[in-house]
């Protein structure tokens, strides 16, 4: 039974306290976007992969290369996981990325890695949907708030089994990339960057919402790989996520992944970021 407590006399004064930003980013090491742009100008394509509808693709990109995720054929949302290619204990940390850059990412924002590494794994260098901004519902594009659609939550809510949620697609692709059995691979899959997904929180109940993505074929999100990366991208069964996910109902489309290598010397002055400098003693 819920209890409704008496509103204190100074309730409005307490609510009126101004917020402070938890993590001011003024001291964050800033990416040299001009250097990246110059390096990208002379870069040549070195790889291409397709994430088929309701499936995932795995890909490897070397530190200092770029990778681009492009919508082809129709509006489609992608769920992205990243690992350090040489040490899978270092993986994308969606929660800390959200705390540093906000609920949705765009050009200049970075995808940060898990503790104790906590360094940029990738930097967003181009976003053709950056014009979208924030809509009247509070929706924005490319979130780090959703976790990924998964068969466990789906079973919890419906009692049914569905095997093409992003979590399962990412699991199978990671298993293919590493040779791990799927039960082990599933434990390595982590909270994602929701590429092209348009999401927010409802103002009245604070619930996570999605709406049809504004992405159209030809739109892309491009990244600079700060370390050697293993990536896995799922073409979400929700398609443009305008109706439902975790089913075969929504129209679904493939996503294109491409890698580009800059010319020799184009990145002079850039170094792959070191692991986080904290001593790791935790006071003992």
* Contact criterion met (CB below 8 Å) for 208 and 198: no
**How many CA atoms are closer than 13 Å to the CA of 257, on its beta-carbon side?**
24
Q: Rank residues 73 and 87 by Cβ distance to Zn ion and give the closer one.
A: 73
**CA distance to 89, 116, 278, 279, per residue, from 282 (Å):** 19, 11, 9, 8
CB of 199 to Zn ion, least distance (A): 12
Residue 215, interface with Zn ion (CB under 5 A)? no
Interaction between residue 145 and Zn ion (CB under 5 A): no
The interface region with Zn ion, picked from 26-34, 147-155, 156-164, 253-261 by CB under 5 A, is: 147-155
Q: Which is nearer to Zn ion, 125 or 199 (CB)?
A: 199
State in Å, rounded, how far the first CA of the chain is from the last one.
Answer: 44
Give the residue with the Cβ less far from Zn ion, 126 or 166: 166
Q: How far is the CB of 276 from Zn ion (least distance, A)?
A: 30
Rounded CA-CA distance 132/110 in Å is 19
Site for Zn ion in 226-265 (CB under 5 A): 236
Decide if 87 contacts 186 (C-beta within 8 A).
no
Residue 181 dihedral angles phi and psi, to the nearest 5°: -65, 155
Nearer to Zn ion, 97 or 194 (CB): 194
CA dist 145 and 200 (Å) reads: 8
Q: Which is nearer to Zn ion, 166 or 255 (CB)?
A: 166
Between CA 104 and CA 106 the distance in angstroms is 7
Give the residue with the Cβ less far from Zn ion, 228 or 240.
240
* 80 lies in the site for Zn ion, by CB under 5 A: no
Site for Zn ion in 106-135 (CB under 5 A): none
155-174 binders of Zn ion (CB under 5 A): 166
Task: List the one residue out of 77, 190, 82 whose CA is nearest residue 141.
Answer: 77
Instruction: Determine the Cα–Cα distance for residues 148 and 94; give it in Å rounded to an integer.
Output: 11
The yes or no reply on residue 149 touching Zn ion (CB under 5 A) is yes
Beta carbon of residue 14, minimum distance to Zn ion (angstroms, whole number): 39
User: Smallest distance, Å, CB 234 to Zn ion?
Assistant: 6
Shortest Å distance, C-beta 246 to Zn ion: 8
Query: What is the contact surface with Zn ion in residues (CB under 5 A)?
Result: 149, 166, 236
């Amino acid at each position: 039974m819920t209890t409704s407590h008496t509103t204190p006399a100074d309730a409005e004064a307490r609510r009126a306290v101004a917020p402070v930003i938890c993590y001011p980013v003024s001291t964050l090491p800033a990416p040299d976007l001009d250097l990246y742009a110059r390096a990208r100008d002379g870069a040549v394509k070195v790889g291409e992969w397709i994430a088929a509808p309701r499936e995932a693709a795995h890909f490897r990109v070397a530190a200092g290369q770029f990778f681009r995720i492009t919508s082809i054929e129709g509006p489609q949302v992608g769920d992205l996981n990243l690992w350090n290619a040489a040490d899978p204990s270092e993986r994308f940390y969606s929660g800390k990325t959200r705390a540093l850059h906000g609920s949705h990412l765009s050009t200049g924002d970075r995808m940060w890695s898990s503790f104790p590494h906590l360094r940029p794994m990738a930097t967003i260098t181009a976003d053709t949907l950056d014009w979208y901004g924030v809509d009247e519902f509070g929706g924005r594009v490319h979130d780090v708030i959703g976790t990924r659609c998964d068969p466990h939550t789906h079973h919890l809510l419906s009692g049914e089994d569905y095997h093409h949620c992003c979590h399962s697609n990412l699991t199978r692709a990671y298993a293919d990339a590493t040779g791990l059995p799927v039960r082990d691979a599933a434990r390595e899959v982590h909270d994602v960057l929701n590429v092209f997904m348009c999401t927010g929180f409802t103002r009245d109940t604070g619930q996570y919402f999605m709406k049809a993505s504004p992405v159209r074929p030809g739109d892309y999100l491009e990244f600079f790989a700060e370390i050697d990366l293993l990536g896995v991208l799922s073409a979400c069964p929700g398609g443009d996520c305008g109706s439902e996910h975790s089913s075969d109902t929504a129209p679904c489309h493939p996503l294109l992944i491409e890698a580009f290598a800059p010319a020799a010397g184009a990145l002079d002055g850039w170094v792959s970021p070191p692991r986080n400098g904290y001593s790791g003693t935790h006071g003992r």
